[in-house]
Amino acid sequence: MDEFIDTALGFPTVLFSAALVVVLGFWLLVLCGAADHEGVGSDLDSGALGLGGVPVTVSASLLISVAWFASLSGSVLLAHTGWPGAVVHFLGAVLLFASPVLAWRVTRVLVRPLAKLFPDERGPSRLDFVGLTCVIRTGRVDAGFGQAEVAAGDGSTALVQVRQLGSDPLTLGSTALLYAYDDAGEFFWVGPFSALDGLFDPLG
């Protein structure tokens, strides 16, 4: 047991041990419901590394775990070679770089079957708002100005840019219908909408 602890806290394994502690802490929070395994944003493009198909938290956890195990095993083997200390330290430095490379190769193999458990889902799109009603949040809406609040299907709300054509002005608190989206201008076309009679006039 003492040898295990000494190796885990010795060079180079201690670097991977620290990362592994972070990984274990994160998954403990997931088990407690305080974190979401897909809720951590990252700029890492795991697909470019050949680790796509699973959430980045899963691939990163596997990568760190395998690198830690590879470093630990290599360090134990080096400690029992009986080679001079300078040679062991040099090979330990090599192990520091070799372990992540080996871990990357192993993780690539592991994520392939795991990818089947994480089917691709289409991300939210602004086009999902087309056809929904909204509430005007500015004093006026015209062809060049306006904002409205719209509720998404999951209950969340968003403030979007809206524009109107027509003579019947939309004012603060008015209910309108998002009937089209302009990609170039990044805004929605809206028209007055009455929930009581279901009437909608895009030209106001």
Q: Give the pLDDT of residue 124.
A: 57
Do residues 88 and 18 both lie within one domain?
Answer: yes
Residue 158 lies in a domain: yes
Give the end of a domain, one of 117, 138, 164.
117
Strand runs labelled E in 61-186: 133-136, 147-151, 157-164, 175-182
Residue 51 lies in a domain: yes
Q: Which helix (H) or strand (E) holds 99?
A: helix 85-114
Residue 56 lies in a domain: yes
Q: Pick from 64, 41, 43: which is nearest to 110 by CA?
A: 64
Q: Pick from 25, 16, 53: which is nearest to 38 by CA?
A: 53
| Number of compact structural domains in the chain | 2
Residue 184 lies in a domain: yes
Residue 197 lies in a domain: no
Give the end of a domain, one of 52, 87, 117.
117
> Which structural domain, as residue segments, surrounds residue 130?
126-192
Distance CA 3, CA 181 (A): 64
Q: Give the pLDDT of residue 40.
A: 46
Give the end of a domain, one of 62, 85, 117.
117
Do residues 113 and 21 both lie within one domain?
Answer: yes
Do residues 77 and 24 both lie within one domain?
Answer: yes
Do residues 110 and 40 both lie within one domain?
Answer: yes
Model-level pTM greater than 0.75? no
Do residues 107 and 24 both lie within one domain?
Answer: yes
* pLDDT values of the chain reduced to their tens digit, one per residue, 204 residues: 788 888 899 989 999 999 999 999 999 988 887 766 654 444 344 555 667 778 888 888 999 999 999 999 999 999 888 888 888 889 999 999 999 999 999 999 988 888 777 665 555 578 888 989 999 999 999 999 999 999 877 778 889 999 998 767 889 999 999 999 998 999 999 998 875 444 555 555
Q: Give the pLDDT of residue 58.
A: 87
Do residues 20 and 54 both lie within one domain?
Answer: yes
Q: Give the pLDDT of residue 31.
A: 87
CATH number, position 183: 2.40.50.140
What 17-26 contacts at long range (C-beta under 8 Å, 24+ apart), as own/partner pairs, is 17/68, 19/64, 19/67, 19/68, 20/64, 20/65, 20/68, 23/60, 23/61, 23/64, 23/65, 26/57, 26/61
